[in-house]
Chains A and B, each alone.
Chain A
Amino acid sequence: DSGVTQTPKHLITATGQRVTLRCSPRSGDLSVYWYQQSLDQGLQFLIQYYNGEERAKGNILERFSAQQFPDLHSELNLSSLELGDSALYFCASSPSGRVNNEQFFGPGTRLTVL
């Protein structure tokens, strides 16, 4: 158990819908990272937040957005969902904003878009 929690574990929705994935980092960790893992693309970095502010951006679509709240939990919002958005979404956390720190990954949310 990494100490990072993600909810929900599974999510099934329809194309065009909007969903919110939630992540609680390990106690004391200030950075949260979001990743998408699909069968054809592998594990892709989406975005990083550090202490409430966006720190780094990866291959995140404009239909996706994220935020980190004062209590340091983070949410990833996915809108206008398409079939290709079906994937495992992982959240990770680390103590600081430096990627030199190891990242602790949560168990993931499996999103299925029908």
Chain B
Amino acid sequence: DAKTTQPTSMDCAEGRAANLPCNHSTISGNEYVYWYRQIHSQGPQYIIHGLKNNETNEMASLIITEDRKSSTLILPHATLRDTAVYYCIVRVYSGGSNYKLTFGKGTLLTVNP
């Protein structure tokens, strides 16, 4: 299984960019990287996903290294409402044509005023 490693916690000042790193050194060629976040016991919320190219949407940007062994989620202008646990996930093959998302411990991002 392709596992991910993330820092346990990070701080960021409000209005600044938050850069959340993730290592996934055992990722295979056709596995996607997903990012979700969870705000205090609410249901997780999808942020973004990518395979090898950098991706951007209205919430964030995802930068994947050329060797695909690590990625960075960027929240360009963090707000207090971005305080949450951020999960970097590589989907895991579960047999046949099926995959599942395996959530790790994630990074607790605290945005400070």
Contact = CB atoms under 8 A, between A and B. Distances in A.
Interface string A50-75: 00000111100000000000000000
B43 A108 contact: yes
A19 B11 CA distance: 40
Contacts of A56: 94-95, 98-100
A4 B43 CA distance: 10
A103 B46 contact: yes
Given A42-B105, A43-B87, A43-B103, A107 B98 contact: no
B49 A102 contact: yes
B25 interface: no
B8 interface: no
Interface of A: 2, 4, 35, 42-45, 48, 55-58, 88, 90, 92, 97-100, 102-108
10 contacts: A4-B43, A56-B95, A56-B100, A58-B100, A90-B44, A98-B99, A99-B91, A99-B99, A105-B44, A106-B43
